[in-house]
């Protein structure tokens, strides 16, 4: 059966299909087939599933929070660190309570995704919100590096032999594992993996259960007097400092602040719930509050328990990052009899850390898309890629996080200085933003809510200041400097977007006021073809220029090489249709020469100049290296000349080479079967005149555009059943359900019912009237529906599924329906809509 085309609409045929590019073929094989936009559905999370999916980042920070405090304390006060770890942990836990209480108010009010960025934008304006945006974007980048580094340390802690591989070294093994993990996350997210699943929730519950069991067993053994200190491992520990009696000295206060700043990394990830409130089931606000409080309680229990075990067992951090404090505690708590549980703890720790790092691969692209929608980041960050994910954001996150990790090293202690400033800046913006919201709205109970959010804002801004001071020389200086620069860059980019919008809005305001663009009355139309060489691209440009029917047609070559000009003159001689002019260009400034030439022509009143520029298109990579972009540069200059326009005629050299090679192969008799042209039916166009269309389509619509409800169609016999087309049963070509006529079985005029998906919609202008044409496709063929006097039907757009009832005619064997009654089955708005008379 021949492939049937819809009349009058664009349709591909086997002989004119464009070949896939190498990069698209590689992308398709690596990432899988592309997902269609209709498959982008929002999956709502239950509270248990939301706790597992959204809390992995916050809960995973318990794996290294205690160790980061010990690194500072051990190096300063030695063995006294194991006594100070308890009060330091209590201060950090107080901070967790404050942040959770503050964010409870955030998720109660702002139930859409965005978190602190949305809070800052709504209460401080879009410019101030860029401080939160930059802070969160930095946080997401560092989260990937920190989480993967901590996960790698958990793996090597379970298998210390990995750190003793010859010619690798203890630090390189962490780098190798981290780089591989980040690349796997990048690949998985580019394929479109979804975090809203039980697989991503499992590590959170496994880690919480395994570490919780370790804490309980450790407490029981400590009460019974059976819990001992950890034993020494191979590898250097952080050097023990000297105990001091003057705990109130300036140096010790600085050390305590530094330890507190390190411990503040335990608060990271708590805000993740606020960034995805809209993903929860209704009522979103209440469910988000419950998930947030549960997450905070788990984090408090885990960090408190891990710090207590460190106090009892004297687990000491190691310079290489492994074995971790958590691994040492699990080893001594479970002992040799329960060593299998040690591996369970390490596996759960690695799993939740890598999963926590993976959350950035959804959070960063989504936040970047929000900021880009507000015109503070490039708008290409809002585009979804091959698998319906924000591929550009994923790639940027991968590159930046890998760069950070490779430059600084995949070591948690080395990365923490970059970490918490961004996190706590976001906390601060959310706290003060909600305080301003309460002052503005004064909703019931606003006073105690104002106190909570103000305390949260003050607490977190103090942490930012402490971190910036005590960690300045260790890497925080980079964030302190880069952060404001990025904020300025985002605001500057927005200024550029707003300027462009104002320039375009001026045109829109004129049209809205009924003032259309002026109709110039040019008495003289000049077309100038700029010629660089005499080849097929130049010939194509000359043909196009003649088709414009200008008053004057000129072919101009700017002479910058006399020998090349002479060769061009000899090659041009056989062509007598257009004279070639040579313009001397001694300074070799082609753009200036072009502008001067065009300006001279437009100086004559009533003259309009069109410049034709043949541009040879080569392969993207090699073409950039071998050829410049002269045509684009000249077009940019010419377009600024009044009464002048530039048109670039592209000529695909690569495709031309492929065609020539195929022709040579066919002549030589060595062409593969795929090079043999496959015949296909021509794509016929519908007549422009509506009356002619009615005449050509037999048995058109009756009455005033509302055909009577047709009787049920005759059943299709097995012999009449059309052959399915390629892609039958998929998204684009659904299988017709029982009770409707397959489009491919329509061979004669009559009344019928068809159902399919809208593939193409176009509006035609016919004698000062509009005709809405829609191509409907099912698994057997295509049909064109024409709605006269309509330019838009709500819900009828590409991707909608529609059922049509009415008279059908044939034009050159192609089915056409005019003004049929329609029923939107899957409209864009998500609500069923019907048009026409109900059945009687």
pLDDT in tens, 581-599: 888 887 778 888 888 889 9
Q: What is the pLDDT of residue 673?
A: 40
Residues 421 and 303 in one domain: yes
Nearest to 51 by CA among 216, 280, 265: 280
CA 135 to each of CA 79, 115, 179, 260, 423: distance values in angstroms, whole numbers, following the listed order: 36, 12, 24, 20, 7
SS3 31: helix
What are the residues whose beta carbons fall under 8 Å from the beta carbon of 762, sequence distance 6 or more?
A: 9, 772, 773
Domain containing 576 equals 524-652
Structural domain includes residue 224 = yes
3-state secondary structure 550-563: CCEEEEEEEECCHH
Question: Token pair of 12, please?
Answer: 């591909």
Span 105-122, pLDDT tens digits: 888 887 766 578 888 888
Q: Tell me if the bond preceding 674 is cis, omega within 30° of 0.
A: no
Residues 640 and 697 in one domain: no
Residues 322 and 424 in one domain: yes
Q: Can you state the percent helix, strand and coil of the chain, rounding each to 5? A: 55, 10, 30
C-beta separation of 602 from 642 below 8 A: yes
Structural domain includes residue 553 = yes
Which domain-ending residue is among 592, 627, 652?
652
Q: What is the pLDDT of residue 23?
A: 63
Span 452-482, pLDDT tens digits: 889 888 888 888 888 788 777 777 777 888 8
Q: What is the mean pLDDT of the chain?
A: 77
Residues 240 and 164 in one domain: yes
Which domain-ending residue is among 601, 631, 652?
652
Structural domain includes residue 658 = no
**Is residue 683 left, alpha or beta, with left meaning phi > 0 and alpha meaning psi from -120 to 50?**
beta
Residues 602 and 555 in one domain: yes
CATH code, domain carrying 559? 3.40.50
CB atoms within 10 A of CB 759: 18
Residues 484 and 592 in one domain: no
Model confidence, pTM: 0.70
Q: What is the pLDDT of residue 66?
A: 86
Which domain-ending residue is among 493, 508, 541?
493
Structural domain includes residue 679 = no
Span 529-588, pLDDT tens digits: 998 888 878 888 888 888 888 888 988 888 887 888 888 888 887 666 788 888 888 777
Task: Tell me how far apart the alpha carbons of residues 240 and 82 are, in angstroms, rounded to a whole number.
Answer: 12
| Helical pair 126-158 and 391-408, crossing angle rounded to 10 deg | 60
Question: Token pair of 198, please?
Answer: 């039980």
Residues 402 and 459 in one domain: yes
Task: Tell me how far apart the alpha carbons of residues 296 and 547 are, in angstroms, rounded to a whole number.
Answer: 72
Q: What is the pLDDT of residue 711?
A: 43
Structural domain includes residue 2 = no
Residues 582 and 702 in one domain: no
Q: Return the bridge partners of 184, or none.
A: none
Residues 402 and 303 in one domain: yes
Residues 482 and 532 in one domain: no
Task: Tell me how far apart the alpha carbons of residues 703 and 705 are, in angstroms, rounded to a whole number.
Answer: 6
Task: Tell me how far apart the alpha carbons of residues 254 and 256 are, in angstroms, rounded to a whole number.
Answer: 5
Query: What's the structural domain count of the chain?
Result: 3
C-beta separation of 122 from 291 below 8 A: no
Structural domain includes residue 504 = no
Structural domain includes residue 24 = no
CA 571, 576, 579: angle at the middle one, nearest 5?
80
Structural domain includes residue 673 = no
Span 290-340, pLDDT tens digits: 888 998 899 899 999 999 998 888 888 888 877 888 988 898 888 877 778
Residues 97 and 206 in one domain: yes
Residues 720 and 595 in one domain: no
Q: Given a cut of 70, is residue 147 above it in pLDDT?
A: yes
Span 376-433, pLDDT tens digits: 888 888 887 767 778 888 999 999 999 988 988 888 877 877 777 777 888 888 889 8
CATH code, domain carrying 409? 1.20.1740.10
CATH code, domain carrying 698? 2.40.50.140
């Amino acid at each position: 059966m021949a492939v049937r085309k819809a009349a009058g609409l664009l349709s591909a045929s086997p002989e004119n299909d464009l070949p896939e590019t190498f990069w698209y073929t590689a992308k398709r094989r690596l990432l899988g087939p592309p997902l269609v936009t209709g498959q982008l559905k929002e999956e709502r999370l239950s509270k248990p599933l939301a706790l597992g999916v959204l809390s992995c980042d916050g809960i995973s920070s318990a794996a290294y929070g205690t160790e980061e405090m010990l690194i500072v304390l051990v190096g300063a006060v030695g063995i006294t660190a194991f006594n100070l770890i308890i009060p330091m942990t209590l201060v950090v836990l107080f901070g967790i309570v404050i942040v959770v209480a503050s964010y409870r108010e955030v998720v109660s009010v702002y139930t859409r995704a965005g978190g602190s960025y949305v809070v800052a934008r709504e209460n401080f304006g879009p410019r101030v919100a860029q401080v939160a945006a930059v802070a969160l974007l930095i946080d997401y980048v560092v989260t990937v590096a920190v989480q993967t580094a901590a996960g790698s340390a958990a793996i090597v802690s379970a298998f210390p032999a990995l750190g003793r591989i010859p010619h690798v070294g203890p630090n390189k093994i962490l780098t190798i594992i981290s780089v591989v993990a980040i690349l796997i996350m990048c690949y998985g997210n580019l394929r479109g993996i979804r975090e809203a699943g039980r697989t991503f929730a499992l590590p959170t519950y496994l880690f919480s259960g395994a570490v919780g069991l370790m804490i309980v067993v450790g407490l029981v053994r400590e009460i019974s007097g059976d819990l001992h200190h950890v034993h020494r491992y191979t590898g250097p520990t952080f050097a023990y400092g000297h105990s001091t009696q003057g705990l109130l000295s300036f140096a010790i206060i600085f050390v305590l602040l530094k330890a507190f700043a390190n411990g503040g990394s335990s608060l990271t990830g708590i805000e993740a719930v606020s960034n995805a409130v809209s993903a929860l089931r209704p009522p979103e606000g209440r469910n988000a509050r419950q998930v947030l409080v549960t997450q905070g309680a788990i984090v408090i229990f885990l960090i408190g328990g891990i710090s207590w075990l460190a106090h009892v067992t004297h687990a000491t951090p190691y310079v290489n990052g492994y074995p971790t404090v958590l691994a040492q505690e699990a080893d001594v708590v479970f002992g040799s009899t329960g060593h299998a549980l040690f591996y369970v703890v390490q596996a759960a720790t690695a799993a939740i850390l890598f999963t926590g790092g993976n959350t950035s691969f959804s959070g960063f692209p989504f936040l970047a898309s929000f900021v880009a929608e507000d015109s503070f980041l490039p708008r290409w960050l809002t585009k979804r890629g091959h698998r319906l994910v924000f591929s550009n954001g994923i790639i940027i996150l991968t590159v930046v996080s890998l760069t950070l990790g490779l430059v600084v090293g995949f070591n948690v202690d080395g990365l923490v200085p970059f970490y918490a400033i961004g996190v706590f800046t976001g906390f601060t913006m959310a706290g003060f933003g909600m305080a301003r919201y309460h002052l503005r709205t004064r909703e019931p109970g606003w006073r105690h809510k104002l106190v909570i959010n103000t305390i949260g804002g003050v607490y977190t801004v103090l942490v930012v200041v402490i971190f910036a001071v005590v960690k300045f020389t260790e890497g925080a200086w980079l964030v302190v400097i880069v952060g404001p620069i990025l904020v300025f860059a985002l605001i500057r980019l927005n200024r550029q977007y707003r300027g462009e919008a104002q320039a375009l809005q001026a045109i829109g305001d004129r049209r809205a006021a009924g003032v259309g663009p002026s109709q110039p009355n040019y008495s003289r139309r000049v077309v100038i073809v700029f010629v660089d060489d005499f080849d097929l691209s130049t010939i194509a440009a000359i043909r196009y220029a003649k088709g414009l029917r200008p008053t004057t047609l000129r072919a101009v070559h700017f002479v910058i090489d006399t020998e090349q000009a002479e060769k061009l003159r000899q090659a041009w001689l056989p062509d007598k249709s257009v004279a070639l002019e040579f313009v001397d260009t001694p300074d070799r400034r082609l753009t200036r020469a072009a502008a001067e030439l065009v300006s001279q022509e437009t100086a004559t009143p009533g003259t309009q100049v069109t410049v034709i520029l043949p541009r040879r298109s080569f392969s993207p990579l090699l073409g950039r290296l071998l050829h410049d972009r002269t045509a684009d540069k000249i077009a940019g200059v010419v377009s600024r000349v009044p009464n002048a326009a530039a048109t670039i005629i592209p000529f695909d050299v690569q495709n031309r080479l492929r065609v020539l090679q195929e022709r040579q192969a066919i002549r030589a008799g060595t062409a593969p079967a795929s090079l043999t042209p496959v015949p296909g039916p021509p794509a016929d166009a519908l007549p422009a005149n509506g009356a002619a269309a009615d005449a050509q389509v037999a048995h058109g619509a009756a009455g005033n555009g509302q055909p009577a409800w047709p009787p049920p169609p005759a059943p299709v016999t097995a012999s009449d059943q059309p052959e399915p087309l390629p892609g039958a049963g998929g998204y684009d070509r659904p299988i017709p359900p029982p009770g409707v006529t397959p489009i491919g079985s329509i061979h004669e005029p009559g009344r019928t019912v068809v159902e399919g998906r809208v593939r193409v919609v176009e509006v035609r202008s016919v004698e000062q009237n509009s005709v809405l044409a829609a191509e409907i496709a099912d698994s057997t063929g295509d049909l064109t529906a024409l709605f006269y006097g309509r330019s838009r039907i709500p819900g009828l757009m590409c991707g909608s599924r529609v059922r049509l009832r009415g008279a059908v005619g044939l034009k050159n064997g192609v089915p056409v329906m005019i003004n049929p009654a329609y029923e939107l089955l899957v409209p864009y708005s998500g609500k069923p809509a019907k048009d026409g008379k109900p059945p009687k």
